[in-house]
Every structure is written in C-alpha cells, then in structure tokens.
Amino acid sequence: MGLELEPLFQAWSCFRRRKFRQCSDLCAQLLEGPPGGQEADSEYSVFQAAWSLKTRALTEMVYVDEIDMDEEGIAEVILDENAIAQVARPGTSLKLPGTSQGGGPSPAVRPVTQSGRPITGFVRPSTQSGRPSTMEQAIKTPRTALTARPITSASGRYARLGTASMLTNPDGPFINLSRLNLSKYAQKPKLAKALFEYIFHHENDVKNALDLAALATEHAQFKDWWWKVQIGKCYYRLGLYREAEKQFKSALKQQDMVDTVLYLAKVYLRLDQPVTALNLFKQGLDRFPGEVTLICGIARIYEEMNNISSAAEYYKDVLKQDNTHVEAIACIGSNHFYSDQPEIALRFYRRLLQMGVYNCQLFNNLGLCCFYAQQYDMTLSSFERALFLAENEEETADVWYNLGHVAVGIGDLNLAYQCFKLTLVNNNDYAEAYNNLAVLEMRKGHIEQARALLQTASSLAPHMYEPHFNFAILSEKVGDLQRSYTAAQKSEEAFPGHVDTQQLIKQLKQHFAML
Amino acid sequence: MSLFKARDWWSTILGEKEEFDLGCLCVADVDNSGSGQDKIIVGSYMGYLRIFNPHPVKPGDEVQPEDLLLEVQLREPILQVEVGKFVSGTEGLHLAVLHCRKLCVYAVSGTLGNVEHGNQYQIKLMYEHNLQRTACNMTYGPFGGVKGRDLICIQSMDGMLMLFEQESYAFGRFLPGFLLPGPLTYSSRTDSFITVSSCRQVESYKYQVLAFATDADERQETEQQKLSSGKRLAVDWVLNIGEQALDICVVSFNQAVSSVFVLGERNFFCLKDNGQIRFMKKLDYNPSCFIPYCSVKEGTINTLIANHSKMLNVYQDVTLKWATQLPYIPVSIKVANLQDLKGVIVTLSDDGHLQCSYLGTDPSLFQAPKVDSREINYEEFDAEMKKLQKIIKEATKTQDILPKSEKHRDVIVTAEVSPDLDAESQAIDSEVKAESVPSVTVKITIQSRVTAQKPNLAVCVQAPLAVTCDQFVFDDLEPDSSETVMLSVFLKGNCSPSELEGNCLVSYNRPTELNPEGIPKVAECNFSLPLRLICFPAQPSKAANHKITIDTNKPPISFVTIFPDFVDPSEDDQTNVLGFQFLTGSKTTLLASKTSQRYRIQSDQLEDLWLITKQLKLRLEEHFKKQNCKDFACTFSGSIPLQEYFELIDQHFELRLNAEKFRELLSERAVQFRAIERRLLTRFKDKTPAPLQHLDTLLEGTFREVIALADAAEENQANVFRAFTKLKSATHLVIMLISLWQKLSADQVAILEATFLPLAEDTQELGWEETVDAAISYLLRTCLSKSSKEQALTLGSQLCMPKDTSRLKKNITLFCDRLAKGGRLSLSTDSATQQAVVMPGGCTTIPESDLEERTVIPGSTATLPSHGQMAKQKSKPALSEDAAEEAEKP
C-alpha cells in the first residue's frame, strides 16, 4: 500500500473518527518538522493548523461535559456567602429538606439520605453529598469506607485532575502555559477557542483560562456569546456565582443555547434558588420544546425538593421525548417501588436490563422487586447475579443487606442475622444493618448488645429515625424512661410525622406526669 | 442502549486494512440504468473504487459475486466520491472522484450479458483536473442557478474554494480566517456555500459574491492559481454555534421547509435559510455521522444520527423515534433504494464494513454471562450448612479467637537479650539528660519450618523506651531456614518506663493448596529487659518520702546474690543496703532487715518504687526456686498508699482537663479564623474593593494564636503521656500491694489488672479515669456487692470524661474496703470481657461494659418488642435501591 495521504489530512480525518491518540501523534510529527513552507504574507500555516488540531485532540481525550461536573467541598459550603436568608421559606430552598408539598412518600416508606432527601433512583454527582451545617460537623461526619474525608475543596481536586492528565505526556506538557502570551492568542479567534478548551479541560488551569477568555471577549467586542459562556464557566469554578450568572445571562441575550440555559440553572442551584432555576428551565423549554436535558433538569429539581409526584411527571415527559433515557427509567422505577407497586417497578427495571444495563445495582433492584412482587423464584437468582457482578465491597454489602431483608421476610431469622453480619463485614459503616441486627438481638433477648448496636447505628446515621425509635422502645421496655424520652425526641426530630414516636412520647409524658 | 438491533439485509467487508471516512460512500444510480435502483459506490484511502448492486434473495444472504459490479484500483487515495451531472452536453449521471491532488470524472457504463453474472461494467475517464493544492472535500450543485448540470467546488486543506465548471477551471477563492477545513455544502435555494469555520461559526457565502470577488484579482489568478487574494470575502450570514461540526447537510422535502442541518460535536442544529436556529438538540453521546432522510409528518424532518457507542438513532425533529444497535461505528451513512426496497440504510465503518440494513424488532440479544452455579445436591448442601452453622455458633460463643496450641508452630520467633549492656551505647536522639544513655542488644531469631511468604518482623517496646529499628522485612523464608537480626533498646523519653518488657511479632503468609496467596499468620514472643538499662547503682540515701515494707517467710538474702549486677562484690561492707539511681534523676533505696524477714523500699516518688519492688520480688522468687524452696511467699501488711496514689491520679486528670481547655480554645480560634477568612473573601470578591480595615492584621494575629495554642496543646499532650506513665507505674505497684496484702490468687490478680489497666489507650475522649471507674463500679455492683439493691443500679451507657475524680477515688477506697472485708473477685457467671469495646465506624466509641445478665430486672421479663413493632422497623427496605443505575446514558 504505497499510497500516501497528506499527513495533515490524515490527522484531520483521524480526529473526525475520534482516534485522538493517532491524530496527536501525526500532529506531533508535523510540528517537529521545520516550520517552513509557509508563505510570509499568509496568515495561514500548516504549523498553526497542526498545533490547533493537536490541542483539540488532547482536549477531547479528557473532555467531560462541564454541566455534569458538580462537587461541593467543605470549603465551598462553609465559605458560602451567597445565602440570602438564614431560614428560607418552605419550598424555596434546597437546603431545607422535608418541606414536601408534593405528597412524597414518608421516610417510613422511602429511606432518606443524610441531607434528608428521599433516596433517588439514579446516582448523580450531586446526589451523594449532604450539606453539613458547620465545619465541625463536616469533619465529624461519618465517613464511608470509600471516602476517608469529605472533599475539602473542589478547586484542589481540579488541580489534581490537571496533573493527572499531564502524566500521559512523557515529554512534559504540550503547551507551557506560563510562557504563553495570552493577549497574542486572544486576537486570533480561530486558535483561541481551541486553546481555551485545552487550558480549561486538559490543564484545568482556570485562572489562565479566565485571563484568555477575558482578553478574547474584549477582542470580540463582547459580541461572541461563546466567550461569555466560557467566562461564566471559569467564574463558576472559582466560586463567583453572581458574576457567572451575569455572564450567562448576557450570553443568553445574544443567542439562545441549551447549554447556556443548563449552566445558568446550575448557577441558580448552587445559589440555592431552585424556583428560579425551574422558571429558567421552563423558559428554555418554550424556546427548545422537547429538549430532554431541560426536562430532566426540572425533574431533578423537583426530586431534590421532595416533590416526588411532579418529578415523576417530568420523568415521564423525558421518556416521551427519549424512551431510552436510563436515568428517567430508573427514577420512575424506584418511585413505583417505593409507592408500593413493585410489579410496575419490575417492568421498568426489566426494560433497563433489556437495554443492556448490566450491573450489580440493577440486579439488586430486580431481586427486591421480584421479592415484593411475590415472584420468589427469581429473587434469589437475581441476588446471586448481583453478588457476582458486585465491583466493590460497598456493593456487596448492599446486596447482603437486601438479602437479609428477604430473609426477614421469609422468617428465616438465622439467615437474616448472618446476612446482616456479612453486610457489616463488607462495609462496617452500614447503619441500617446495625439497626436491623439490633432488632434481631432484641428478639433474642440480648438487650445490652441490641443497645450497643443501636447506639452505633444512631451515631453512624443520625438522620435515620429508626435507631432512635428502637432505642426509645428498648429503653422504655427496660424501664429507663429518661433515656427512652431523649431517644424518642431524637426520633421525632428525624421524622416529625412518625405516629408511633408521637404515641410513645405521649405515653412517656403521662408517666412523668404521674410521677 | 437499545432494545433492538438493525436487521441485516446485506453486508460485506471491503478489502483488508483499508481506511474509509465520511466522503467515501455514495449512493446513486450511477450507471444511468433508469430503473431507479441505487448502486453503492465506495472509495477507499487505499485507492480502491468499488461499486455494488446488492440483491440478496432473502435478507441476510451471503454476498453473491455478481453483487460487485466493479472494482478498480486507482493510483491515488480516494477522498470523496460523488455522483452528479458533471459532463457537459448530457444530463446523465457521472462519477466524480476526488484524490489528494486530482479530480477525475468518470462515466460508468454496463453491458448486459445473457445471464445476470454476464453483465460487464467499466469506467471511462471523461476528464480530470490536476490541483495545485491538497484537496480536502468537495460539494457540487447547480451553482449560479444553471439548469441541468452540476458544478463542483473543492475545498483545499489550506482553505481555498476551487470551482470547476465541468471541464474547465472557473476560479479559486480563499476563505477568510481559515485554519482547518470544515464540512462544506451547497444550498441551491439560496445559491450559497455553507461551511463551519475554525471560529466555530456556521458561515454562508453567496456564489455570486464568490464569483464577483474574482474580478478584483483576476490577473493574479490567471498567472498563478495558487496565490491568495487580498480582498476579503463578504459573508452572507454567520451563526456562532460554539463548536466544531462533523457534517452539514441542506435538505428540502416537499412538505417541509428547506433547512440546513449541522451535526456538531455535542449538539445537533437545524437552521433556517437565513441562519437562525430552528431547533437544536443536545446530544448525550459522541455522534459520528448523520443524514436527514425524509419528512414523514408535515413540518418535521426525520434524521438518522449514528454515534460512537454503535447506536443509530432516528429522530423526528428532536423526538427520539427509534434507536437501534449497529454492529460497528459507522463513519458514513446513506439511505438508498435497492432492489425495489425503499429506504435501506447503508452504513460504512472506517475499517470497511459495509452493511445495508433495515429497522426491525429483532431484539439485540444481550446474553448475560452464566453465573458459576453448581448442580445442587440438597443433602450435601444441608450437611455442609449444618456444619457451617455449627462453626458459626461456636465462633459466636467464644468471643476471642483462641490462640493455637504452641506445639506445632510453623514459625518460631525467639528473642535473646544480651546480659551485658552495650560497650558502646547505640542510643540515638534520647531526651534523657544523663551523661550517657546505655543500651542493650536484643538478638531476634526467626526459625521457619515451612515456607513463609513476606515475613515481617515488628519489635515493640513501651514508650519511653525505644528501639533502634522496629520494622524488618525479609525475603520469603524457605522451610527450615532462619533469619537473625540485632537491635538495641534504650531509654528515649525523659521518664521512667512502667514496665521493662518488649514484644516482637512476626507476621507472614502461609500458602496452602487452595490459597496460593497465603493465609496470614503471626508468631510472637516477649522479652524482658535488664534493670541496668534505666538505672545504675548509687549511694543509698536514708531519708525518703515513700516507704513500703515487704514481709517474707524466709530469712533475708544478701543483695550480693540477688542483685549481682548492682553490687560490687569486693566491697561487701553494706550488703543489706542498695541504692538505685534512675537515669531520669530520681533515687530509690532498698534495705534488707538484718534481723527480721523484711525488705524496705523507699523513694521520694511513689512511682519509682514499682520497678525496684517488682525486681526484688522476681529475683527473690527466682532465687528460692533455684534452691527448691517452694513455700516462699511475700506479704504486705501496711496500708495501701492510696493517698499518694490519688495525687498521681489528680495530676493526670488535671492535665486532661487542660487538654480539654486547649481544645475548646483551639476550636474557638478556628471559628474566629474562618469568620475573618469569610469576611476577607467577600471583600476580595467585590468589584470595587473596600478597604480591609485591618482584617489582615486580625487574620495574622488569629493565625499566630492558633499556632501558639496548637504548640501548647502538643506540649500538654507530652505531659499527659508522662503523667500517664507515672500513673501506670503507681497502678502496677498498687495492684501488687493489694495482691500481696490480700494474698490474691493468680486469676484474681488478672481481674484486678484488667480492671485497673485497660488495654484501651488513654485518649482525650476515652481516658483512664472513666474506664477504670466503670470497671470498678461494675465489680462493686457484682461480685463485691453487699445487697441486691446495689445490683439493680444501671450504669451510664456512654462513658464520658468525668467532672472530677472524687467518684473514682471514692470507688477505689470502697473497693479496697470491700476486699479487706473479704470480698472475692470473680467473673464466673459471665463471659464478657471488661474492656470497653471500641465499635467500628464513627469516631465515638461505645463501651459495652454493661453485661447482659445484669440488666434483667426482677418482674420485667418481657423485653421482646411486639411483632407489629418488628415489622415496622423492617419495612425500611433497601438502601441500595438508591445506589442503582450508575450506568452510562443511552
């Protein structure tokens, strides 16, 4: 095969086929050659073209959509000066969980996360972190086996990401940012955009990226919405949300774009203004009807605000537009599961399975749905598969925990006991397993052990009402009314609507009155 | 992610190791057969040109040889193939082939044979143009509104549009601001070229403008085709889409208005003729190619978009109508009419898979791999289950894993302490202020009878003693081999240790047949260190604050015999008095009574008595053992020095209180520090910076305070440690005195030790005072209790630091009283240990010091919760519901 393609054309073609490694190698060869062959007066040169192409290829290798990146570290939470009111009105803030108006399920039915939200059906970057209120609490927050510490600061993490991507180049970084004359590049829009993305995504050097974007937008006489969005992205990463909002708004005025709407909504969410974000999404939908990402954004906000029924409506809308949307299917499925319709949930999860989702979590959910839908033949084999597919100990622990549930359901308490023990072997932070073990111990009459287990559970997960309530019951049975009362109060704090807790407190108060 | 896969109608693999890209596939009735049947034309970067006319008998058939109408190898790589009316004077379709530096137009014709496989096809070169610049891609159309013929426009790699009016070259134009070529297309409605530039804008150039611009520099052009123009081209319209585009397409179907479709890297745009966005869709995958193919519903256009996750999505405007799986990532996609079958999807991958497929409900068969499951033999399983249950039951009964019997140890570790101190001291970094700190050599030998993998030796002595090296890693030990290491022990911290013992531990992996990684195992051994390590003989002193007297039932022994290392035998004038000078500075004197069977130990500090007393007792016992005298016994008749002991407790406790104070102060300052930081942050964030108002000074000051406090806290911590060492020495002494005083048996002494010397470390959250207090009050309530009333008292469930030590002191006094009155220590009824059990997990510890048997209150037997309650607690299913679905998006 002696036919030789022009190297630049070949690199360009590789880039289009997403063969970035090959593309960057070809460009490197071009760049190594003498920069001759360019006409003196021409503003075009092969050298520039290859440089720009390599920049783009390197960026694409590590590109992650900025909209999906969301992590809030301690530093961001503590030094958050954007809060408008100390106590927000109900329904206007994401920080106050439990202000449910949409008739979501109670915590007795659907477990809640640490921040007090019902558990969702789809893990997204922002669903896992709670918002601790003080630094002390943040540091003391029970850690899981996976994360030893809460994330200290998002900016620190980005810096580490940057160094990691640099390791892939043995000869050091492709572009030495400190030697770059940014103002020179800012005047060449064709190079500047690729360069910006490289600095932002590949090097994760927000400060330099911002400098470049600021110069470039000036050069473009503030008429290029793209640069405004990029400045907004930089501001967002730097934590300057108000400034980011200004940039995004200005960009939206120039040109309606889905991405800009999503970025702006993200800013509003960070500023804890979910209602504004909702309105923005709805305006965006007027402009881009049927845009899946926008509808999905609305559904997520409703879900976070505990308005489960609206969230489900919007997830259904998502499916009308895109019926292969995994997140929507999973969320509707889990919603059905928790509203006591395991058969319907089963159908959603089965759909996911048919679509080729093949992981531990799915089989875990299938197993549970099968159990509650009384399809016992499939239950154990589903769990067996889930165990087989479990990638880490956390997942294994989840499966064993659920198996323990099934065992309780069929009345095999010995098996249940061992399942919960196995859960703790795999993940010794599993507060729910501690609680359930305690209940089993209580049945066996081992009161002291039950007590110790309940205390462990409540210290691991103060947001759960069950350990507190069980502890109250236990103490009351033993006759330790004082301790029972304090525990019952904690339980009420975690779940104000729990009828049994209220009855217990009433009963205890009567006791105290009699004394 | 899709339920279905594309159904294969006809497919083939082209060549070997050939490369294809976007322009390499074209579908048209290229041989002008007039039947309306499309042929598939494929060119490769290797220069092969192939034309197919697939006609399988039934879907999925093998490729017939006659399906391939033509295969020729051209001498240059084929970048793009297009079919149009390229030859003047005829409206017939011709094939244009774009090479790097050449454009060729061929006529394809066929001669029908008698049978189908007798058909012959050939290509004939109509004309060719040599190009001055490297070509990239081309587009064609009736530029300028000409009727019945197509003109060609080629974009070069360096941004020149070269226009050819069929056989003749018309003109060339440079695109302004060009860097890398983008997709190019021609819109006949507006008579303009549309491309996406490196500035990430969709740009439209009118053909008229391009053509008129020629006049300005025609002279140059005629001279040299390659020279660029000085004049800027005026752009018709520009739309900034903010990303690079993969492909661009202009379509107008009868029902729908004409639109420009742009497939970007992350979004999909539909533009109006004037460059406004009609709609856009954010793609959550990496698209590879697309084609708008028809309009099913009025006002909407259907588009096929293929992506890099091997999926083909069918959109009606922005709504996903169908998704199907493809066997590969396509680089080019077309829709063709083949063999009376309309709308066949033709896809080409970059390594030459060519497939004609149609949509259908063939499930994409995802076969979940089999779980490794065995044939179930219920009887065997039952038996195994029973066995395992039994083991589990046994294991849960005995809380500790009992050590294996010593008989057949695989690895033996022995430590030998050399009898003499090192001639040259090995001590390093010692804080002791003595002139010379002695050290003693310990020789540790590991003998292995089996293969031991990754043996790791750890040597540990209680601080303030230290070793020169505490970790040794060896290579794997062969059977019957041994390793020896030498190390030195010396006094590091500036206080006397509470015990003169060390411990060495070997951890290793022992591989078995089933487990080649090895089962982790340990072997350990203890060694005791000589007294000379921490003290040396000195002049005895008569007066001392603390004195204790030990009675024995044998006549006193000369110190020359039992303390040979401290007494110089040459000067035996004072064999009944011996002075010890500790390295840390204090002195202890040992006196033997000449007449009675008594020994007296005296010192200025209570804690210094302990080591000497212990040594005395040990050496006496050893001495009598040698003489085969079995009834030797020591007793203590004086009062236990509780008052002095309490002073030590108070010292320790006060330091703990100090630590608490430091911690509070530290957290206060930290809060202050963060508050200032926050203030500063808002100031700095402001667009118009306000004056700092000395906030920086305040920040600096607070920072200094924090550092100073942290230093003080650290120092305090060191003091706490020293105080605790003293306390431990004194506690040992008290335990010994109590046991001698009451003549306690060995297991009672063990209980006593467990009570007073918890294994848990002394920390701020869980310190010695509360742990010992809990243990003593437990003993007071159980075996030492006077009445059943006392037994009923429940203990606080959580241990926390007490406010003062009065309760502890009271309890210790009471404890001694009860023992004096004949109390007996025993734990016979319960198996649980005394130690506070540190529960895993959070940072607080939960002691399990209460025992289950004790809490049964007479009269209240029903501790079981009602069944309804049970169900309530259980109905909280599945935390992991939540953990679901991290799977990638479709």
Output the CATH code of domain B411-532: 2.60.40.10
CB B198 within 8 A of CB B177: yes
pLDDT digits over B264-282, tens only? Answer: 999 999 998 888 899 999 9
Q: What is the mean predicted confidence (pLDDT) over B661-688?
A: 86
B77 contacts on A by Cβ (under 8 Å) = 3-5
Please report which confidence band the pLDDT of residue B572 belongs to, taking 50, 70 and 90 as the band edges. Answer: low
Q: Is B518 left (phi over 0), alpha (psi -120 to 50) or beta?
A: left
Q: Which of A101-110, A161-170, A356-365, B853-862 has the lowest mean pLDDT?
A: B853-862
The secondary structure element, H or E, covering residue B259 is: strand B259-264
pLDDT for B206-238, tens place per residue? 988 888 775 444 444 444 444 444 456 788 899
User: Within a 13 Å sphere around the CA of A100, how many CA atoms are in the beta-carbon half?
Assistant: 22
pLDDT of residue A494: 82
Q: Measure in Å the smallest separation between the Cα of A97 and chain B Cα atoms.
A: 17
pLDDT given for residue B792 in this prediction: 55
Contact status, residue A463 vs residue A114, Cβ threshold 8 Å: yes
User: Of B470, B529, B539, which is closest to residue B498 (Cα–Cα)?
Assistant: B529
DSSP three-state, residue A171: coil
pLDDT per residue over A107-127, tens digit each? 666 666 655 556 666 766 554
The whole-number pLDDT of residue B844 equals 31
A47 close contact with B: CB closer than 8 A: no
- DSSP assignment letter at B59: T
Name the residue of chain B whose CA is nearest to A499's CA.
Answer: B872
Q: Do B678 and A79 touch (CB under 8 A)?
A: yes
The domain B534-635 having CATH identifier 3.40.1010: the answer here is no
Split at pLDDT 50, 70, 90, the class of B516 is: confident
Is B851 within 8 Å of A356 when comparing Cβ atoms?
A: no
- pLDDT tens across B60-118, in order? 777 888 888 889 998 889 999 999 999 888 888 999 999 988 999 999 988 877 776 77
Q: Alpha-carbon distance B523 to B882, whole Å? A: 45
Q: What is the rounded CA–CA span in Å between residue A229 and residue B12?
A: 46
Nearest alpha-carbon partner for B851 in A471, A449, A481? A449
Cis peptide before B858 (omega within 30 of 0): no
Round to whole Å and give the CA distance between A345 and B884.
Answer: 13
Residue whose structure tokens are 């100990």: A393
Per mean pLDDT, which range of A171-185, A215-229, B327-341 is the poorest? A171-185
What's residue B373's pLDDT?
A: 62
Which CATH code is given to the segment(s) A343-428? 1.25.40.10
Q: How far is Cα B784 from Cα B822, in angstroms, rounded to an integer?
A: 9
Domain ranges for chain A: 7-33+46-62, 343-428
A401: contact with B, CB 8 A cutoff: yes
Give the nearest partner residue to B320 out of A18, A321, A352, using CB atoms.
A321
- Whether residue A432 and residue B876 make contact (CB cut-off 8 A), yes or no, is yes
Q: For residue B882, which of A461, A337, A95, A161 has the smallest C-alpha distance?
A: A337
Work out the number of other CB atoms within 10 angstroms of the CB of residue B675.
12
Residue A137: the pLDDT is: 53
At B737-776, the pLDDT tens digits run 988 888 888 888 888 888 888 777 777 778 888 888 888 8
User: Which fold does the domain B4-358 belong to in CATH?
Assistant: Methylamine Dehydrogenase; Chain H (2.130.10)
Let me know if the fold of B4-358 is the same as that of B534-635: no
Whether the predicted pLDDT of B888 surpasses 80: no
What sign for the dihedral angle of Cα B68, B72, B76, B81? Answer: negative
Q: Is B850 on the interface with A (CB under 8 A)?
A: yes
CA nearest to A345 within chain B: B881
Provide ipTM, 2 decimals: 0.84
Strand partners of residue B260: B250, B271
Say if residue A145's pLDDT is above 60. Answer: no
Residue type, B134: T
In sequence order, what DSSP letters do the residues of A65-112 get, joined into one string? -GGG-----HHHHHT----S-SSPPTTS-SSSTT---S-PPPTTTS-B
Question: Which pLDDT tens digit goes with each residue over B473-482?
Answer: 888 888 888 8
Q: Report percent pLDDT > 90 for chain B.
A: 21
- Residues B779-796: tens digit of each pLDDT: 888 777 776 665 555 555
Distance from CA of A435 to the nearest CA of B (A): 9
Residue-level pLDDT at A121: 67
Contact present, A434 and A457 (Cβ < 8 Å): yes
Choice among A377-391, A443-457, B350-364, B776-790 with the minimum mean pLDDT:
B776-790
**CA-closest candidate to residue A325, choices A299, A305, A307:** A299
Q: Does A221 touch chain B (CB under 8 A)?
A: no
Q: Are B451 and B478 in contact (CB under 8 A)?
A: yes
Q: Are A359 and B886 in contact (CB under 8 A)?
A: yes
pLDDT at B543: 79
Domain ranges of chain B: 4-358, 411-532, 534-635
Phi/psi at B132 (5° precision): -80, -20
* C-alpha pair distances (Å), A388 with each of A364, A367, A391, B473, B753: 11, 13, 9, 36, 48
Q: Do B882 and A120 touch (CB under 8 A)?
A: yes
Q: How far is CA B588 from CA B232, B543, B545, B722, in A?
A: 103, 10, 11, 19
| φ/ψ (deg, to 5) at B735 | -60, -45
**pLDDT on residue B374:** 62
Residue A504 — very low, low, confident or very high, per pLDDT cuts 50/70/90? very high
- The per-residue pLDDT for range A222-268, each reduced to its tens digit, is 889 999 999 999 998 888 888 899 999 999 999 889 999 999 999 99
B217 touches chain A (CB under 8 A): no
Does the structure show a pLDDT above 50 at B366? yes
- Whole-angstrom distance, CA of residue B543 vs CA of residue B535: 19
Q: Find the mean pLDDT for residues B534-556.
A: 83
Q: Tell me which of A190-194, B255-259, B423-427, B454-458 is least confident.
A: B255-259
pLDDT at residue B623 in the model: 87
Looking at residues A209-220, what average pLDDT do you find? 91
